[in-house]
Amino acid sequence: MTSFTSADGHGAVPTSGVPVDEGSVPHRSQAPLWEVFVRSKRGLSHTHVGSLRAPDAVMALRNARDVYTRRQEGVSLWVVPSTEIVASSPDEKDAFFDPAGDKPYRHPTFYDVPEGLTHL
């Protein structure tokens, strides 16, 4: 009996008997992947919104405009080749971020403020 899920968004699709990652297609040369960052309005930082494939930077920018800013979501766009992003490793995240873990004195809430005093 085939299982179906409605939780696929646009209508139920089978959750069994459907192949995934067969490696059946010889890896064709796909356009490179770009990460897209949008500044939603002046005064705010660019924020990562997703990624897309495009053969070069100019097309990546144009595609990013069409895919991610069809409703005036941005006033500025960055596209960055995904391969150029250097990331911390999730496996080492505890050790990597540990040094900040035992330094609560870096937060203002660490300190007692005498009752009734303001501007502290």
Partner 1 sequence: MSEQLQAEFQAAFQAEVDADGRIEPRDWMPDGYRRTLVRQIAQHAHSEIIGMQPEGNWITRAPSLRRKCILVAKVQDEAGHGLYLYSAAETLGADRDELLDLLHTGRQKYSTIFNYPTTSWADVAAIGWLVDGAAIMNQVPLTRCSYGPYARAMTRVCKEESFHQRQGFEAMTVLANGTPAQRQMAQDALDRWWWPSLMMFGPSDGDSPNSAQSMAWGIKRFSNDELRQRFVDATVPQAEHLGLTVPDPELRLDPETGSYAFGEIDWTEFYAVMKGDGPCNRDRVRNRVAAHEDGAWVREAAAAYADKQARRAAA
Contact between 13 and partner 1 per CB under 8 A: yes
The single residue listed with the structure tokens 């008997």 is 17
Tell which one of 46, 51, 65, 80 touches partner 1 (CB under 8 A): 51
Return the range that interacts with partner 1 (CB under 8 A); candidates 37-45, 55-63, 100-108, 111-119: 55-63
Q: Which of residues 67-106 bind partner 1 (CB under 8 A)?
A: 67, 70-71, 87, 89-91
Residue range at the interface with partner 1 (CB under 8 A); choices 37-45, 53-61, 96-104, 112-120: 53-61
Task: Write 53-60 long-range contacts (CB < 8 A, 24+).
Answer: 54/79, 55/31, 60/34, 60/36
CA distance 64 to 41: 16
CA angle 28, 30, 31 (to 5 degrees): 160
CB of 85 to partner 1, least distance (A): 11
Angle formed at CA 56 by CA 55 and CA 60, multiple of 5 degrees: 90
User: At its nearest, how many Å lie between partner 1 and the CB of residue 78?
Assistant: 16
- Do 68 and 104 form a contact (C-beta atoms < 8 A)? no
Chain residues that interact with partner 1, rule: CB under 8 A: 3-16, 18-25, 27-31, 33, 49-56, 59, 66-67, 70-71, 87, 89-91
